[in-house]
């Protein structure tokens, strides 16, 4: 949702608010470093800072209705140009000011999607894909059955289940008109509320689950010995650290930003072209495909100028900034007004998804540190946001050590493959329940 922050006659436009997100992110990092409880929880600082602002806005709105709101449209600017499927600066429709960060993050994933590396995913990747599709199907069935048991339209359960949780805000918005046509009144609002609940709980629970699983392991992660000695997290990474590292190699960083920007631009045209065929296609996937194609052509020609480490750093910065702004923009009042059946359905979905990640995904993926990291990532993207998954996994590896298998297969499955399967499951549910 495009927005600006308004206090009475004082208005902060969308781009100053984007800059405000940087300050909120730094506050979140400061809290994580200073509060042991937060540092041990592995909850991303972006979640903490952004959620604090969302709660503050909710409180202000309750005390004086209309005083604090999020609204407004983004204007034409160079900031949005790289994601527009056109060559001029004027968007055909209003756009979220944070959308370039979303697409930049997934473009960085595409740049790192080397086929030679993906082949090493092998059977674990296929297994994780099977588990992810199974969880999406279970969410759809559980939601429909719970809604029916409560005397509600089963489509309410599907919208509050796999559509909004595995699918997230984008899938919920994309399918809302079809659910409206099928007889579910207020499908868009239901989807937004359910996705918001998933983002909040996923962001809070992913790191907690990962930490609890690691504590169960007999063999701890590479940094476990140091952790047992100090009992604290050595925060050697974060937004400031990533920016500092990128600034040490300005030429390489600038080159990668230019390449990523080109991939985003051509990806915008690709996404629109595919959407015109009638296929539901997330806006970021075009850029991912272009970037992945470039990376694999680069590898085939034995190139050496693309750096996975640099792209990963840029993606990390975009992810943390994006997640902060997204959390600040959560409509908690919408959740507060959603009661009864929706809350019951969401509670059932969240509890079952967490149990499956802890008891099934962790066991089948190997019962080791990598499996714990993958399970945390599963909570993130199975409850509404791939950005939550990556942020939580990144906090874990900063604390416990590298998890290369997890970072190889989770983005491929959670950000790309499961979206297609989830769209098919949703389409099947619509046809069966309309």
Instruction: Give residue-wise pLDDT tens across range 148-166.
Output: 999 999 999 999 999 989 9
pLDDT higher than 50, residue 290: yes
pLDDT at site 122: 78
> Which of the two residues, 174 and 26, has the higher pLDDT score?
26
What's residue 346's pLDDT? 92
CA 148, 151, 157, 158 torsion: positive or negative? positive
> Is residue 4 pLDDT above 70, yes or no?
no
Q: Which residues pair with 6 in a beta bridge?
A: 11, 69
pLDDT in the model for residue 144: 95
Parent domain of 349: 97-220+241-433
In a domain, 14, yes or no: no
pLDDT of residue 341: 87
The yes-or-no verdict on residue 31 having pLDDT over 60 is yes
- The tally of domains found in the chain comes to 1
Which of 13-17, 55-59, 172-176, 309-313 has the highest average model confidence (pLDDT)? 309-313
Residue 31 CA neighbour count, 13 Å, CB half: 20
Query: Residue 414 half-sphere exposure, CB side, CA atoms within 13 Å?
Result: 29
d(CA 311, CA 289): 15
Give the C-alpha separation, 264 to 109, whole Å. 12
CB count, 10 Å around CB of 133? 20
- Residues 53-68 have a mean pLDDT of 71
pLDDT at 119 > cutoff 50: yes
3-state secondary structure of 69: strand
Domain membership flag for residue 385:
yes
Picking from 50-54, 122-126, 137-141, 384-388, which range would have the lowest pLDDT averaged per residue?
384-388
- 45 vs 232 pLDDT, higher one: 45
CB of 425 within 8 A of CB of 136?
A: yes
Q: Once rounded to an integer, what is the mean pLDDT over residues 17-39?
A: 84
Query: Is residue 6 one of the residues assigned to a domain?
Result: no
Beta bridge partner(s), residue 10: 7
- Are 301 and 174 within 8 A, CB to CB? no
Give pLDDT tens digits for 192-241.
778 878 888 888 888 888 888 888 775 444 544 444 333 333 344 678 88
Q: What is the pLDDT of residue 226?
A: 42
Length of the chain in terms of residues written: 434
Which has more confidence, 232 or 341?
341
φ and ψ of 314, to 5 deg: -65, -45
Whether residue 318 contacts residue 105, with contact meaning beta carbons closer than 8 Å, is answered with: yes
Rounded Cα distance, 413 and 408, in Å: 9
Residue 60 counted as domain residue: no
User: Please, is 103 exposed, middle or buried when counting C-beta atoms within 10 Å of its C-beta (0-12, 13-18, 19+)?
Assistant: buried
- 78 in a structural domain: no
> Tokens representing 152?
């509600």
Cα 364 from Cα 360, distance rounded (Å): 6
Assigned domain for 229 exists: no
Query: How confident is the model over 134-150, as a mean pLDDT?
Result: 95
- CB burial of residue 154 (10 Å; 0-12, 13-18, 19+): buried
If one compares 63 and 149, the residue with the highest pLDDT of the two is 149
Encoding tokens for residue 425?
């499951």
For residue 24, tell me if it sits in a domain: no
pLDDT at res. 279: 63
Instruction: Name the CA dihedral angle for 126, 130, 135, 136, rounded to a multiple of 10 degrees.
Output: 100
Predicted local confidence at residue 294, as pLDDT: 92
338 assigned to some structural domain:
yes
Extract the runs of DSSP E, i.e. beta strands, from 18-129.
68-71
Distance in angstroms (rounded) separating the CA atoms of residues 10 and 5: 9
> Looking at residue 225, what is its pLDDT?
44
What is the pLDDT, as a whole number, of residue 162?
92
pTM check: above 0.75: no
Are the CB atoms for 37 and 100 separated by under 8 Å?
no
Q: Is 59 helix (H, G, I), strand (E, B) or coil?
A: helix
* d(C-alpha 22, C-alpha 243), whole Å: 12
Q: Across the chain, what does the average pLDDT equal?
A: 79
Sort strands 10-12 and 68-71 into parallel, antiparallel or unpaired: unpaired
179 contact partners, CB below 8 Å, separation of at least 6: 155, 158, 159, 163, 187, 191, 430
More confident residue, 67 or 262: 262
Residue 337: per-residue pLDDT: 57
């Amino acid at each position: 949702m495009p927005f600006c922050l308004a206090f009475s006659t004082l208005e902060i436009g969308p781009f100053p608010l984007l800059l405000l997100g940087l300050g909120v992110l730094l506050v979140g990092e400061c809290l994580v470093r200073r509060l042991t409880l937060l540092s041990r929880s592995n909850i991303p600082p972006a979640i903490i800072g952004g959620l604090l602002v969302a709660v503050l806005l909710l409180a202000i709105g309750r005390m004086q209705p209309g005083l604090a709101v999020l609204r407004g449209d983004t204007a034409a600017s160079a900031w949005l140009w790289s994601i527009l499927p056109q060559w001029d600066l004027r968007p055909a429709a209003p756009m979220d000011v944070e959308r370039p960060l979303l697409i930049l993050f997934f473009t960085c994933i595409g740049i790192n999607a080397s086929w030679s590396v993906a082949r090493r995913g092998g059977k674990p990747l296929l297994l994780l894909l099977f588990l992810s599709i199974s969880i999406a199907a279970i969410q759809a069935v559980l939601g429909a059955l719970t809604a029916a048991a409560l005397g509600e339209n089963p489509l309410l359960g599907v919208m509050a289940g796999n559509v909004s949780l595995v699918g997230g805000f984008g899938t919920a918005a994309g399918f809302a008109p079809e659910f409206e046509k099928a007889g579910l009144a207020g499908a868009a609002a239901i989807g937004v509320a359910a996705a918001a609940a998933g983002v909040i709980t996923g962001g809070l629970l992913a790191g907690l689950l990962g930490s609890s699983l690691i504590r169960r392991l007999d063999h701890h992660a590479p940094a476990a010995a140091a952790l047992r000695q100090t009992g604290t997290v050595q925060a050697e990474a974060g937004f400031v650290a990533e920016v500092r590292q990128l600034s040490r190699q300005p030429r390489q960083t600038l080159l990668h930003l230019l390449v990523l920007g080109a991939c985003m631009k051509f990806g915008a045209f690709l996404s629109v072209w595919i959407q015109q065929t009638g296929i539901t296609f997330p806006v970021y996937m075009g850029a991912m495909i272009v970037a992945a194609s470039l990376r694999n052509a680069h590898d085939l020609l034995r190139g050496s100028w693309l750096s996975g480490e640099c792209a990963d750093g840029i993606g990390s910065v975009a992810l943390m900034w994006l997640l902060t702004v997204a959390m600040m923009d959560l409509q908690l009042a919408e959740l507060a007004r959603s009661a009864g059946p929706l809350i019951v359905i969401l509670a059932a979905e969240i509890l079952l998804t967490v149990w499956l990640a802890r008891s099934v995904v962790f066991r089948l993926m190997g019962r080791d540190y990598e499996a714990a990291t993958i399970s945390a990532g599963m909570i993130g993207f199975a409850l509404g946001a791939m950005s939550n998954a990556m942020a939580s996994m990144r906090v874990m590896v900063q604390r416990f050590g590298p998890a290369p298998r997890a970072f190889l297969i989770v983005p491929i499955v959670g950000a790309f493959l499961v979206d297609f399967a989830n769209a098919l499951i949703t389409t099947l549910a619509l046809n069966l329940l309309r």
